[in-house]
Chain A
């Protein structure tokens, strides 16, 4: 037990519950100490660190290209983004320009990965609320995506695909047709998914007006990604601080509208993720249509020795801004790699947003923030 427990003045009728590190609901290994009287909580304090593997410290002991597989494990559901962020930071340190074909491939795999990650995000939220079926429908779609990406780079979850200077493998013949046929079947299936769960009255009642996070609080607590956009803030790194080939694509940034509830509630974050999946489909179609010929990897020396400097590169991952602050001192190993993850700040807002919620709502809050534990702890 934490030493701070003795500092809190716990009155007689407050119950301390432990939503322990292992729990079917929390998205990863996070522990919550909930103080409340029965159902209504006073606060839910998250205790993190169960997945701290010291990735940032490990980075200081290995050459720049060797760190890419470690970035996969920072956020295993959105591994392409993690790779991309690190590669972008090192490329900025080197002043390297990536070939256009590689940029397009990066965008394609990023958007495929965004769809895959959001399928789990909304599916897990539905499952926490009790609807087991939509999650499995999402997994079925994700299987098709996993197969596509496996054909591309050999891995289903931790890809190690986006490397410093480009990407690792080129699209094999016929894969773009497979992606297009997947997209053709994906849209009607999302219609069915929406009919099943997104407009389901019970889900709306569980999520609307629950865990409302207004825009100012969201910005102050550093929320990013769909969480921030669900609170009404129109910020998307792909459009506002563009990187890679995103300036060439036309897509809409999905912002919460307070549909079926208040702006910034859990339902808004749910709907933002569903809509983002459809936008990713649009980007994918454009990218597949316009992919140029060329190299997939720039001319990168075998031993990367970026000159001294600091670079901060952020990509718009499925969970928001995944930023890499890489400090180089001229040697072939990074001096410092700092990873800024969206789930870190999302977990920090749980204590603030959980005042007055019921325990069932806490589950909805955590699920709507789409928290992934490895990102918090690294």
Chain B
């Protein structure tokens, strides 16, 4: 917000006259905008998730409330407000009520550092990445509180499983992010994005083989952080009847779910910012983008679009894969991801040394090769899907919008 505020001071006399007040208004306004964005993203994402899930499962999904069921999430929200707020008799009343807030705050506070454009960011902290990881850990406390306070063994099991899972995958996620930060040279998210470019071969994911692998490692680790299938053991419906939020009802329950869907955006946004070039527009350099308001907004749109693609991959994975058992999950983290992460960090450091010693066209060529590899992967997936669809004899015809 700092840069934007400097610009505002020159345009708006009120801002230069009363800087603190104007800054406070700006910041609060941005906070409200972010809450609005959070809600406006989480709600429709549930709609998309349910329609996509329905389509994958040969059924329709919500299509009654609003056009093609678009307002279903509003209806669910209103219904949950009207529900009775049940607190189990022997539950720890204070902790039970309190548990929701760390979970929600942990997810929402990450929006402070998530950028949308060169100036459209809450606060470009110098330690943005560390702040992100730290604040996501708040969610763990909330989950343990809810698991314990519910006074139910199943909820407790779910809470403990979730806490163990999130804490472990923080380490793996941190390692993967570190791999990407080393070439970027800065811990702040804006700094990392500014280091990348608009074109795919300028993205950090294609910078070196280490960051390429780190992209996948971070994606999987952030799925585990967000309790999404294949890591949704804490909420495993068939075993634990919804795990740590079993005893919650009404709006409290919905807040947990709300935080989870908002977290989807955070996953997508962090990956986009760190690995996929953020809000950079292909062919436009930094200064031009910063000076032009429309280019800034275009950058924001590109950022949200890239994040949304990742969100849809997450949704797709949820309805395809079964879930891992808790010990397999932990084994995967500690026996595979953490050593791989350490290896990636070392590789990235070595790569920095190599890149300094070697002529620039070599690193450029590696980037282009990795870009082609990435493009081949994506193209291969699309081809397989097309092939499977074509070779399936039974093609039921449904008239849907999505």
Contact = CB atoms under 8 A, between A and B. Distances in A.
Interface of A: 15, 17, 23-25, 38-39, 126-133, 136-137, 140, 184-185, 188-189, 192, 196-197, 200, 202-203, 205-206, 358-361, 363
A202 B394 contact: no
A33 to B, nearest CB: 12
B158 to A, nearest CB: 11
B238 A127 contact: yes
Given A136-B57, A363-B239, 5 more contacts: A39-B327, A130-B323, A188-B392, A202-B322, A205-B324
B349 interface: no
Interface of B: 53, 56-59, 153-154, 157, 160, 229-230, 232-233, 236-239, 241, 319-328, 388, 391-394
Nearest to B242: A24
Contacts of B56: 133
A39 B388 contact: no
Contacts of A205: 324-325, 328
A358 B326 CA distance: 9
Given A130-B236, A133-B319, A188-B393, A202 B157 contact: no
A360 B57 contact: no
B238 A202 contact: no
Interface core residue of A23, A25, A132, A363 (most chain B CB under 10 Å): A132
Nearest to B325: A360
A184 B58 CA distance: 19
B326 to A, nearest CB: 6
B157 A200 contact: no
Given A137-B58, A140-B58, A188-B394, A131 B321 contact: yes
Contacts of B241: 23-24
B236 to A, nearest CB: 7
A210 B172 CA distance: 28
B237 A24 contact: yes
Contacts of A24: 237-238, 241
Nearest to A18: B153
B239 A25 contact: yes
A228 to B, nearest CB: 25
Sorted nearest first, the 9 A-B pairs with minimum C-beta distance are A130-B323, A136-B57, A131-B322, A25-B238, A129-B322, A130-B322, A128-B238, A185-B394, A360-B325
7 contacts: A24-B241, A38-B157, A137-B57, A200-B321, A202-B321, A206-B322, A359-B239
B196 to A, nearest CB: 33
Contacts of B237: 24
Nearest to A205: B328
A8 to B, nearest CB: 18
A192 B320 CA distance: 13
Given A131-B322, A133-B320, A137-B57, A358 B238 contact: no
Contacts of B57: 132-133, 136-137
B322 A361 contact: no
B153 to A, nearest CB: 5
A360 B157 contact: no
Contacts of B319: 132-133
Nearest to B323: A130
Contacts of A363: 238-239
Nearest to A200: B322
B16 to A, nearest CB: 58
A132 B54 CA distance: 11
Contact of B157 (A39, A126, A136): A39
A185 B238 contact: no
Contacts of A200: 321-322
Contacts of A197: 322
